[in-house]
Structure 1
Amino acid sequence: MPSPTTPPLSSPPGPPPPTTASGAESPATPTPPLSPPSTCPPPPSLAPFPPPCPRDSAASTSPATTSQLPYSCQVLTHLRLAVNFLTGQIPPDLAQCRSLSVLDLSSNVFEGAIPPALARLAALRVLDVSRNSLTDRIPQQLSSCRDLAVLVLTNIATSPGDHLEFNAFVGGLPLQLLSIPGLHILWAPKANLDGRLPSYRNGSCSLRAVNLAQNYIAGSVPSWLRECQDLAFLDLSSNTLEGPMPAGLRMGCMTYLNVTRNSLSGHLLPAVETDSKCPRRLIDDGIVMQYYERLVKGAMVVRPSGAMSRDVINVAMHDFSNNSFSGPLPSITLSLDGNCSYGLLLNSNMFNNTLSAGFFGFCKGASSISVNLSENQLSGNLDTLSSCLALWSFDASNNMLNGSCSVTDLPFLRRLILRGNNLTGEIPGVFGDLASLEVLDLSKNYLTGSIPSHLAHASHLQALMLDHNRLSGGIPPSFSELAQLAVLDVSFNNLSGDIPYLRHPPDCGSFAGNPLLHPCLGPNTSLPPSTAADSTKGAASRYLMVIVVSAATAIVSFLLVILLFVLCERRKRAKIANLRTKEVVTFGDAPPELTHDNLVRATNNFSIQNLIGTGGFGATYKAELTPGFLVAVKRLAMGRFQGLEQFDAEIRTLGRIRHRNLVTLMGYHIGESDTFLIYNYLSGGNLETFIHEMGSRNVSWTEVHRIVVDVAQALTFLHCSCTPRIIHRDIKPSNILLDEKLNAYLSDFGLARLMEVTQTHATTDVAGTFGYVAPEYAATCRVSDKADVYSFGVVLLELMSGKRTLDPSFSQFDDGFTIVTWGRMLVQEGDTSEFFSAGLSVIAPMDILTEMLMIALSCTSESLADRPSMRQVAAKLKQLKNEQ
């Protein structure tokens, strides 16, 4: 077995791992590995319970964690175990590795709390525990790591291939962590944090990147942030912060500042910049720099406000939208180096001043600018807009701007949106001189006069919205020259005359509300002017057209065969495309409330507040569609399945399977961003929780016996009566659910794979959880229904003993010692009474318990021939009840 210092199988995306100090010797008592080996394990005779073989991404996670680490781990400086399948809790014994500088445990399936013992790692510089299933409070003892520079608690996925984030901590961020003097990066978006940020801070501040977005943090934005002169990235968006932004905050020196979707108010007054340069120091630690670049780059994948120059090197954004800021617009002076694209979002606030030249001071510090001022109470005119030559996009819709809409000398302007204001006068023809203009929206104003034909000189124009004004005259025929014009909306004006020919088929609704305008007869019904002039030539060409049509008819007949073939392929593709809609496919008589939008709304967009469990196939959420009508939604990652069409066929097969001890699959949805299965909700939790609470619950032997029989009957049905036959391959307590009356239901019964009716089916992967996987399955990667029998026996042993299959109490024995080995040892020693939990031995006769133990041990026999079938097990368990 490898020692805990074995190099990791894979490295996390991003910075390459540095040189790892090694030389650790194997401990006197070997421990289970932290990660699975890269090849199939040796035969069972050499390793009775080897780790699983390599498996595809659909397989469940497995290996156990370590209970102790060797003394020589003290020389280890870098430990990277990211992107593995490590389960259980983070080993507190990692604190023995006193020289650790980098500890990366991200993208695993660790549960429980962050061990406070890690505070003893005095040399720790980087701690990354993101993308696990951690809970409980963040230990304040971590503040003892005075050299800690990077703390990554959560990290939201930024691309489809990323691991999802399931950490859901309790309580707030310990105030002591923010006082670590050398902390550069604090990254904890969507971490379920509440409480308040500290109002004061002792000592100097080295923070460069703080991401606490999508939490439940209340209170005010702390004023001590203005003392963090190196701060370049601050994301406090989607919290419940109140009050003003701190006066003196050096906004112009920050490349990313996001406080959208809070309840902030007051005037937005940045610091008075006395120096054009920001006094930011360089990061002298290569690892910290790599983390900074990777995290910040991932958070800024989407450029602000759409269209931005492709030639820019850097992107900067300040987002103050969706708050209650009021008063004048802020004056922000950028102090950013290099070719920068800048986005300023002030929309959906209560700014009530006018546009001034001082507001556009930021235009001197960037090569392309995007500004959003929509949904405010701004007044005045647009005279100062031309002072920002680098403007790419300007949105001031739904304000109270008045006067003329004349805008000139903006050579890079692509989007100008002035919808819903009080603009008057005629549309200036100079808009046609804006060579880069792509979108012009002047709708819902009070514009008069005619549409200037000079607009056709804006050759890149793609969308022109002039609806709901008071325009008159005709639509310029020159619009037929605009090759990229896809949207032309002139509805609800006083226009007259013909609708010109347009290169893209128009929507007739875009011309409604103009009584004097000639009717719209559909796409391209009006011909261009040159066609009308040459109408006499058209008559002469009709004879030629007849000949062409005749020849075309013969060609079409020949092509019909090819067309039929193409249609068949298109139907196949259409079927796949139809699957990726918002449709929810249901089985049986599903209620009308079972829709995609209702499910997303009921889970609060899959919020961690509705999270009820995680597993190898994804996370499960509770959704109450109507009062009293609850379902469980298992959100999947489509990348874990071989093909969409195959996945659809398999799920439809599962939807037809019904048994009183199987969780009911009610429906499913396959989409571009969300893929989930919908099950009936069971309020009793899972068997794993039940086992470890038996000592404190008033449970009868009848209830325990019923749970065992229910699971055995469910497996018997899958193995013997189900068509096609299904081998579960991941039987464990967390996959056995209970209702309020403690009836048991088997879940995830078809997600490992569907099996045809064969005795043994060779596979290329092992789907299962370490400790429950049959030895022959792990060693040979070949599965049979007897592998499920083995896993059921392990579950039965756990239920009777109250111990886990790899219980910490087994650390005193040799490597490979599990609950199966322990049960056999006690039977050989004739001391079976020690095996059963105290609560179970009180409610059940000892002879019945001993006989059930023998059934479980026969199920976990190393020989397939000696294991009974599930039908035999179910019959024997039912017989036990009659023997009481």
Structure 2
Amino acid sequence: MGTLSASVIKWQPFSLLFCVLSCVVLSDDSSDKAVLLEFKESVSDPSGLLSSWSENSHHCSWSGVTCDKNSKVLSLNITGSGKEQKGNNFNNRGDSVSFSCSDYSLFPFYGFGIRRNCGESNGSLFGSLSPSIGKLSELRILSLPFHRFHGEIPSGIWGLEKLEVLDLENSLLSGTLPVTVSGLKNLRVVNLGFNDISGEIPDWFSSLKQMEMLNLAGTLVNGTVPAFIGRFRGVYLSFAWLGGSLPTDIGEDCRLEHLDLSGNYFVGPIPASLGKCRQLRSLLLYINMFEEGIPPEIGQLQNLEVLDVSRNSLSGPIPVELGSCSSLTVLVLSNMLNPYDNLVVAKGDANYVNDDFNFYQGGIPDVITKLSKLRVLWAPRATLEGNLPSDWGSCDNLEMVNLAQNFFSGKIPVGLTLCQKMRYLDLSSNKRLTGELIEDLAVPCMSFFDVSENSLSGYIPIFFNQGCPDVLTSDSYSFEPFNPTSAYLSYLASKVQAGTSIGSFGRDGGPIVFHNFGANNFSGSVLSMPIAPQRLGKHISYAFHAGENLLGGPFPGNLFENCNGLDAVFVNVSYNRVSKISTTKKEVTIFKEIEVPLTFDIVVQATGNFNASNCIGNGGFGSTYKAEISPGVLVAIKRLAIGRLQGFQQFDAEIKILGRLRHPNLVTLIGYHASETETFLVYNYLPGGNLEKFIQERSTRAADWRVLHKIALDIARALAYLHDECVPRILHRDVKPSNILLDDDYNAYLSDFGLARLLGTSETHATTGVAGTFGYVAPEYAMTCRVSDKADVYSYGVVLLELLSDKKALDPSFFSLRKWFQHRSMVVHALATRTGQGVLHCRFMGWRSPK
């Protein structure tokens, strides 16, 4: 006796279990054996699928045959390969579409729950189905899919009283479904997909109480869909010729788990009653002409995993009720990709429109992006507008987001930085997205990242990355069992690889990583390409687009220094202000070792690519940024204005002099980097802020005289060291409160020493240009443009007055110039004699002695 083949349709709950098959007696029934031999004679069998069928053996032992204890045939189950005799796998035969069992990839979303394993199919039968099959009175399963038959289904088959499974999928059969039938009372599965079956869906299906699955996908059936299909568990009617409106009561007494109506000509609204199909797992309505909005009642489907309503004519807002679909993993609201591109010619429809006309109003509700199981959100060119959703929940599972070609505005939300599994993010061509990119976005780990054609600004960050998923390929989800979610992920992954602008760029069809920052307002230098180190050495091709921006400076030749592990690299920085290639290496010269390594990339990453949020000060020489090099290790990075440099060789020579300076009241210069595209100094970080801030806060709190006295002496000692102990002597030329830094214990440190000479044209003792800040510059220096150490002492005196009086040098409440100088003399006397506490507090701070 034969056994049930693994190729029988195996999707729970449609598995058919026949306990009667376990007790078989090999008695003879010559009538069933004769029927089977007649069937064998009616077909051609070039692959020998029926080689075991001989006159000399018992028919219940033949391959594909299962009998009961009386040798009556219960099951005839032989799966073909679907291949033509000449080996063709995919053919267009008139109006029909035939394909081999191994070519399911042509139909990425077809047959959720009914796809079979084709691994054991080695050939096909050719010819016609013998009418004598209708004489197998005990037949429960007739499963002959993927053969190359011709002609109609014999009428006797429709009269089999005990038939439960009729599976003739993709066997090139023709004819119409009968208007009435005499048998089939126990029919549970009808799988006639991809045959030339035509006509309308007959009403007798409604009388089948056990009916669970109906597959007429890829056939020529036409007319409308009856409401009773809602009582089945799986309905597959894709790529047929059905049309009209769906019945409003299709969801009444609903048992549906999978409903696929894609690729037809349905019009009118999506029935709200579908919200009653509480067991529905996949709802595929794409490529039709549905109108109006998505029914809010769909939000009642808490078992729904996949919803695809793309390529229709829908409108209205995206209902917030969809946020109640707690099992939703894939939401496709619009789609520029057509899963049926390969079949359009086969269908031969001259009126077929290859486009998406879903034009929604408003944006995407946050409750949808917060769905914890969501893996795909796909809604390109859908006229969505407003801000991008701000709340993306924990974003533990989201892998693909496509919101391109809409009208979103505002900033890219911080919530997207939580999406560490993101492999695909397309926000391109919204035009109105503004602000700066966030360095915490997982861009280095993304296989596809596109923010082109927007209004983004700032620097292109050096993005942080931690653990990366594997690069996205057409095989990325092959390990997952075929289900609605994995089918969409696999299809979109394959289209992403094929659809990039360098689709043929990858060697031997290898994976591609594509990052596009083009057509924005990004500025600054191109510092690095945001590809994760984990991608190197994996035969990956990388494309980096940053054209049509405001990028400047020389093109860094070291951009490619970490690309040895890539198969190919494509870089586009055209239509910028980038000049010739610079070959300067990204080195940081270290004067004082700290606890952790200090490299160019680490510095730039720690400042967020010199993001404004990390800026702690601005001055004439550049901006200063706080940078956490590693947990608990802070430094201050002064980024110098490139235009101030007078020559790199001179800069290197003089900065090394400053790097050797060591004094308890000088800010320590830890290291520096200087190149044509970027120059910065690395100092130790002082948490107490600067003296300017200290003076401002003095108006709201008292300060101990000893603290003021210590600050004054600390700065005096620092200046004395620069003037008298350094060889060559160093003139500061810009002593002011903002260049005096404090630690938590109010120790004072002088910063920016030597930068006036380093970044200007002056010599040590005289200069032809005035450096310094108005209000702190000595009058004789301002008039003669000649500087000496006395000019620094003058500026120091102004700082002392500010420290003691809480007034700024240019404050209108200051006394006249003559009285100002009188106060200056008094301050010097007070400090020299250490009698300042009583005099200065009363005089400048308005304090009264207790006496």
**Class of the TM-score when normalised by the shorter of the 2 chains:** 0.3 to 0.5
When normalised by structure 2's length, the TM-score is 0.43
Q: Which has the higher helix share?
A: 1
Higher strand share: 2
Rg comparison, structure with higher value:
2
Q: TM-score, normalised by structure 1?
A: 0.42
**Comparing both chains, which one has the higher relative contact order based on Cα–Cα distances under 8 Å and sequence gaps of 6 or more?**
1
